[in-house]
Amino acid sequence: MKPVIVPVAFGTTSKALETYTVIDEAIKHRFPEHEVRWAWSSRMVRDAMKKKGRHFPHPHEVLAELADEGKEWAVMQSMHLICGHEFTRLLEEVHTGKPRISVGLPLITSPEDCRCVVDALGHLVSDRKDEATLFIGHGTDHPAWTTYFALDAMLKNAYGPSAFTGVVEGFPEAEDIVDTVKAAGFTRVKIVPLMLVAGVHYLEDLTGDDEDSWKNLFAAEGIESSFIDRGIGYMPEIVRLFVRHLEEAMDMVLESEAV
C-alpha cells in the first residue's frame, strides 16, 4: 500500500489559491501512483472557504480519514517557507499514532536550500542602477527568524547591494528597511512577495492603501515602488525544491519498511 501524500499549507482565500494547483500538479507528476490529499492549517482560511461552500480539511481531519481507511503510512509535506511556528505546530499535532507519518521539511532548511532559492529569485533582481529589489517575507518571532538574514546575505553575495530582504511581521521593522534603501541612494524599489502565494499580506501589507503599507512607506520617502503580483510558489525551481523535500520524506518511509 503506497503512502498517501498530504501537502499541508496555511492556505489563502484570494485568487492566489491557484498557486497550489501548480504545486499539486508537480507532486502528482512526480508520484503518479500515490494519492494526494491536501490539508490546510489556517482556521481563518478554512472558515472563510466553508462560507463559500468549499471544504478545506485540517491535517487532523485528513489523518483521521486515513486511519479509518486503514492506511499505514502518510507523507506530509510542509508548504511553509521556514521552520517557524506553523511548522513546529504541525509536528506537534500530527503525532496521532496511526497512520505512521513521515514529514517533508519546509522550503528553506539548509544552506543548500537557501542557495537554491537565491538562484530561483535571480531573474527578479532589477538591473536598473536606481532601483533596489526588495524581497518581503512573512516574518516570525520564532528562532527561525534568522533564516531571513541568511537569505539576505546570500542574495547580496549573489546579486550585489541592490538586493534587500524584509518581513511583514517581526525584525527588522519595515521603516528600518525603507530608511536603508533610501540611504543607499535608490529612488525606485521593486517589491517581490517572498511568500508561497500573494494573498492577504500582499493585498494589504505590501500594496494596501493604509499609511503603514510598504507602498506608502516608500512613497512617503519619495521612492517609487513597483510590485510582482505573484508569490514564489509558481516558480518551477521553488516547486522542485518542495518536491525534493517530499522525495526525502518518502525515502524515510521506504527505509523504515525495509528494516
Q: List residues with catalytic annotation.
A: 138
Nearest-angstrom CA–CA distance, 101 and 24 = 20
What residues pair up with 115 in beta bridges, in sequence order?
none
Nearest-angstrom CA–CA distance, 40 and 166 = 26
- Is 60 marked within a binding site? no
- Is 80 marked within a binding site? no
Taking a C-beta distance cutoff of 8 angstroms, is the pair 197, 14 a contact?
yes
User: Could you tell me the strand order of the sheet in which 4-9 lies?
Assistant: 39-40, 4-9, 73-78, 100-104
- Is 58 marked within a binding site? no
Closest CA to 66 of 129, 111, 2: 2
Q: Which residues contact 182 (CB under 8 A, 6 or more apart)?
A: 221, 223
Binding-site residues from annotation for Co(2+): 138, 169, 201
